[in-house]
Amino acid sequence: SQTIHQWPATLVQPVGSPLSLECTVEGTSNPNLYWYRQAAGRGLQLLFYSVGIGQISSEVPQNLSASRPQDRQFILSSKKLLLSDSGFYLCAWSVGGSYSGNTIYFGEGSWLTVV
């Protein structure tokens, strides 16, 4: 069966420091991968999605970047964190391909607090 893991689960980072959140999926090949952010307790916003290695699409302009160095690995990064980057970050996957009407599965999430 397919599983998705992301880490770290919690982190507290000072303003201006770098960030790296990692996500891996097991049990499937060529998945679509996503990074979402949830701020202020509700409402999830899509940050990035990827349909293949090295293919990244960004939905909103921001201080963050994403990379997909391997088929089932998705990384969220920042060179210099801002206070506004605080939030709950969720990695997700769905069956690959151009069709968007597939079930999306989420990882456990990472709580980021920028101080």
Partner 1 sequence: GIQVEQSPPDLILQEGANSTLRCNFSDSVNNLQWFHQNPWGQLINLFYIPSGTKQNGRLSATTVATERYSLLYISSSQTTDSGVYFCAVTYSGAGSYQLTFGKGTKLSVIP
Stretch that binds partner 1, among 17-25, 62-70, 71-79, 85-93 (CB under 8 A): 85-93
Question: What's phi and psi for 13, nearest 5 deg?
Answer: -125, 145
Angstrom CA distances, 91 to 15, 19, 57, 72, stand at: 23, 15, 14, 12
By the rule CB under 8 A, 20 interacts with partner 1 = no
Determine the size of the site formed for partner 1 (CB under 8 A). 27
Give the binding range for partner 1 (CB under 8 A) out of 23-31, 33-41, 61-69, 76-84.
33-41
Please state whether the peptide bond connecting residue 14 to the residue before it is cis, i.e. omega within 30 degrees of 0: no
For 7, other C-beta atoms within 10 Å of its C-beta total: 15
CB-nearer residue toward partner 1: 71 or 109: 109
Q: Which of residues 60-79 bind partner 1 (CB under 8 A)?
A: none
Q: Which residues contact 40 (CB under 8 A, 6 or more apart)?
A: none
* Residue ranges that bind partner 1, judged by CB under 8 A: 32, 34, 36, 38, 42-44, 46, 49, 51, 57, 59, 88, 90, 92, 98-106, 108-109, 111
